[in-house]
Amino acid sequence: MTVQEATYFLLNQLRTVYSDGEASQVTDWVMEHLTGSKKAERMLYKNAAITEKEEDLLHLYTKRLLAHEPVQYVLNESWFCGLKFFVDRNVLIPRPETEELVEWIISNCKFPVDELKILDIGTGSGCIPIALKRRIRKADVWGCDISEMALSVAKKNATTLGTEVNFLTLDFLDKHTWSQLPVFDIIVSNPPYVPVKDKESMQPNVLNYEPHRALFVPDNDALVFYRAIAEFGKDHLSKKGTIYLEIHEDLGEATSELFQAAGYKTELKKDMQQKDRLLKAGL
């Protein structure tokens, strides 16, 4: 099988379950991962044969992709803020909206900065604290998560990407664990915020593969993590510190009001799709 034949095989298979645009994008990503070459380079040797091992992997990847498994899990890689992260099914796949959250934090930092203490709550793959540490090198960056498997992924990424982040295993909703954490200048979080009832409208690639613990909250208490973060900030946010959050697009006002009721000043920000997805809060 040549490079061109492999490309057409995968593309035609994926078109049975994906839109043409998405099938083309995923095909390009898989072929680059498989061959180690960008599209332009692959065009130059399109008639060259792929190896037997590459062909076996191609068929394995195709089978998993046709079952709606996200390409990021199939390839164990996801790009975030220009950095390649290892991901598996223990962590959420980093999203573009979360990149916007990181950029918002960066844009509000006055450079050159003195040392800042930053905490990411529910860190998952570690994409937020690692991206921040790469951009704000003097910062003392922390990340916490209830999942030891997720933190194993985060630590792997920190090592691979040459960053020092303090990772802690703790259940943030258990207030007794808060004593393990110091005072921070920046608290950031993309916590679980999807009500369980929303499962009915979710795509199978998310619902069947991404970790539910990192996605869902009870229908009757969708803001449970934000309430905890607001309370935590009372004793663990520095005097001029700021909280940055990714939020549910339909719960922007409700989340903002929760923080205002706790004594914070808030600012809602729309994402690139003009949805209320980001919130800033300070005391």
DSSP string for residues in 230-242: HHHHHHHEEEEEE
Mean pLDDT over the full length of the chain: 96
Please state the rounded mean pLDDT for residues 170-195. Answer: 97
Task: Provide the pairing of β-strand 117-121 with 184-189.
Answer: parallel
Which stretches of the chain are assigned E, i.e. beta strand? 78-80, 83-85, 117-121, 140-145, 166-169, 184-189, 194-195, 216-217, 237-246, 265-270, 276-282
So what's the pLDDT on residue 176?
97
So what's the pLDDT on residue 110?
83
Question: How many other C-beta atoms can be found within 10 angstroms of the C-beta atom of residue 111?
Answer: 7
Asked whether the beta carbons of 91 and 153 are under 8 A apart, the reply is: yes
pLDDT beyond 90 at 113: no
Asked whether the beta carbons of 51 and 43 are under 8 A apart, the reply is: no
CA–CA separation, 72 vs 60, rounded Å? 14
Q: Report pLDDT digits (tens) over 244-272.
A: 999 999 999 999 999 999 999 999 999 99
DSSP 49: B
Global pTM value:
0.95
pLDDT beyond 90 at 237: yes
